[in-house]
Chains A and B, each alone.
Chain A
Amino acid sequence: MILGILSLQPLTWPTVATALALGGVYALMAVGIGLVFGVLRLVNFAYGQLIMAGGYALAYGSLWNFATWQSILLCFGVVLVLTVLMDRLVFRPLRTSSPTVMLVATFAVAFLLQNIALLKFGPLSKNVGSLAQLNAPWDIFGVQIKEIAVLAVVTALGCLFILQLLLTRTPLGLHMRAAAMDFRTARLLGVRANRVIGAAVIISGLLAATSAVFLSVQENSISSTFGLQDTIIVLAGVVVGGMNRPIPATLGGFSIGFATGILGGVLPADKTQYLTSFIFAAVIVVLLVRPNGLFTRGGGAVERV
C-alpha cells in the first residue's frame, strides 16, 4: 500500500492530543459556517478571512503590548464587527439571489479581504508574541501535551455544549432550527427573519473569533492567507458530514480536523506537503459512498398523507 511506502511515524499521545485540538477548532468553524448556511443558504467562503482578521488583531495586540486578555478582546471585537459588516453589506442585500450568486459574492469578499490584508500588513507574516507561550507543554501522566491543545478541546466542548442548549432549549434556537429547515413556513408562523439571521451571524462571528485565537497560537504566523486552507478543509468536512444540520456538520468538521491532525503527525516530515491531498482523497471517497453526508440519516422525513 501507498501508506506503507511512506514509512509512517508511530502514532504518539501528543499527536492524538493535537489532532483532538484541531478537530475541536474545526468543529467550531464548521458550526459557524453551518449556522449561516442554515438560515441564509449561503456557503460563506470568506469565513477564513474572518479568522485571518482575528489573527492580525492578536498579532497587533501583542505588537502594541496589550495584555493577553486585551488582545483576545480585540480579536473578538474585530471579527464581530467584520462579520456584521459582511452580513449587512453583502449577505442580506443578496439574500434573495440564487445560491450561485451568493457563493461567488463570498469568494469576492474573501479575495478582497485577503488582498486588503496583503496591502495593509505586507507580505511578511507576524507572530502572536506572548500568546505563543500557550504552546508550552503540560506534563499529563508523563505525556507532554501542549497547553493550547487542552484549552482548545475544553473550549470547543464548552462552546458546543452551550450552543446545543441554545438550539434545543430556547425559543430562539427552535426558531433557528425551523428557519434552517423551511424558512418560508417559519416566517408565516411569525418567526422573525432578521432576528434569526442576526443571531446566526453573530454566533458564527463569535465562533470565528474563538477559532482564530486557537489557530493563531498553534501556527503563530499570521499572513494574508492565514485561515484560508483551514476553511477549505472545514468546508469539505462540513459537506462530508452533512451541510444542513448542526450536529452532522459539527461531526464532519471534527472528523476532518482529527484526521488532518493524525495524518500530520504520522506522515514523515518530507511527505507532509501531501497532507491535504490525502485528506481530499478521503473526502472524495466518502462523498462517493455517502453522497448525503457521513452523519445524516438518509432521506429525512417524508411527507405523509
Chain B
Amino acid sequence: MTGLEVENLSVRYGAVEAVRGLSLEVRPGQIVGLIGPNGAGKSSTLHAIMGSAPITGGDVRLDGTSIVGRRPEEVARRGVALVPEGRRIFGELTVDENLRLGLAGRSARTNGDGLARAHELFPILREFRSRQAGVLSGGQQQQLAIGRALAADPEILLLDEPSLGLAPKIVDIVFEALTQIRDAGLAVLLVEQRAQRTVALADVSHVLANGELRLTLGSKDAADTERLVAAYLA
C-alpha cells in the first residue's frame, strides 16, 4: 500500500480553473491537511479524487494505479471514502440505515468490519441507531458522516471541513477521532478552515490559494502564524 498520490492535478469548471498543477501524497497512517481561503480549490481537489469533478490534467493514483476517469461509485468501492462538506446525512433514514449505506463502498475488496469500527469510535451511533438521522444534532450528524465513511472500511479517508459549524467541544471529539483513524493505518486527507488546529494535528499540511500550492508545513510549524498568514494573503 502506497496510499494516495496526486500529481500535477488540474480541475476546471468551464472557464474557471479551480485547481492548477497540485501535487501531494498521503501515505497510510498519515494525516495530510489541506488548508486555505475560500475558493482555494480544496473541495475541488477532493471531488476530483472522487471522480466527481472534471480533471483537465495530471494524475490521481491509488496504490500506484491511476483512478482518473473512474466514476465516483467506483472510486468509493476501491477504498476511498469521502466525508462531504455539510455532512450530507440522509435525514429521513435512520442512523443505522445511514451507516449501512456506507457499506455500499465496501464491495468485495475487504472483509474488515467497518460498522464495528464506526460504533467503537462513536458510541452514540450505536445508542441512537434506530433514530431518524435528521433529528440528530450537528455534532452527532458529523460523527455519523465519518462513521458512514468508515463503514466502507476504506484505505483513504477524505474529509471536507468536518469541523464546520460545530461547537469547540465537538471539534475536539472529531479531531481526536481523526487521530485514532490515522493510528489505525488509514491515509487521511483533511480539508479544513481551522488552519492552526489542522497544522497542529496533521503530519504535513499544504496551504492552497487560488488553486495552487503555496506552502507546506509540518506539525511543528503550528505556532508559526506569520508564515501561515503570509501564505493565505499571498
Contacts and interface: CB of A to CB of B under 8 A. Distances in A.
Contacts of A177: 93
A171 B103 CA distance: 9
B38 interface: no
B90 A182 contact: yes
A190 B90 contact: no
A188 interface: yes
Contact of A190 (B52, B84, B137, B152): B152
Nearest to B92: A301
Contacts of B81: 189
A225 to B, nearest CB: 38
A302 interface: yes
Contacts of A300: 91-92, 134
B136 interface: yes
Interface string A177-206: 110011011111111110000000000000
Interface in B34-83: 50, 52, 71-73, 76-77, 81-82
B88 A185 contact: yes
Nearest to A195: B73
Contact of A184 (B52, B77, B103, B135): B52
Nearest to A304: B138
B91 A302 contact: yes
Contacts of A302: 91, 134
Interface in B86-104: 86, 88, 90-93, 97, 100-104
A139 interface: no
A187 B136 contact: no
Contacts of B101: 174-175, 178, 186, 189, 191
Interface string B100-112: 1111111100000
A281 interface: no
B82 A188 contact: yes
B205 interface: no
Nearest to B77: A190
Contacts of A181: 90, 92-93
Given A192-B73, A302-B134, A187 B107 contact: no
A188 B100 contact: no
Size category, B interface:
35 or more
Interface residues of A, number: 23
B71 to A, nearest CB: 7
Most chain A beta-carbon contacts within 10 A, residue among B50, B92, B135, B149: B92
B104 A171 contact: yes
Nearest to A193: B73
Given A187-B73, A192-B73, A305 B165 contact: yes
Given A182-B90, A185-B84, A191 B104 contact: yes
A181 B136 CA distance: 18
B210 interface: no
A270 interface: no
Given A190-B106, A301-B134, A171 B100 contact: yes
B52 A187 contact: yes
A84 B213 CA distance: 48
B148 A189 contact: yes
Nearest to B138: A305
Contacts of B72: 187-188
B134 A191 contact: no
Most chain A beta-carbon contacts within 10 A, residue among B93, B148, B152: B93
Interface in A72-121: none
A101 B71 CA distance: 24
Nearest to B164: A305
Interface in B8-55: 50, 52
27 contacts: A171-B103, A174-B93, A174-B97, A174-B101, A178-B101, A185-B84, A185-B88, A186-B101, A187-B72, A187-B73, A187-B76, A188-B76, A188-B88, A189-B76, A190-B76, A190-B77, A190-B105, A190-B106, A192-B73, A193-B71, A300-B92, A300-B134, A301-B135, A302-B91, A303-B91, A304-B136, A305-B166
Interface of A: 171, 174-175, 177-178, 181-182, 184-193, 300-305
Given A174-B93, A193-B71, 6 more contacts: A175-B101, A177-B93, A181-B92, A189-B105, A304-B135, A304-B138
Interface of B: 50, 52, 71-73, 76-77, 81-82, 84, 86, 88, 90-93, 97, 100-107, 132-138, 141, 148-149, 152, 165-166
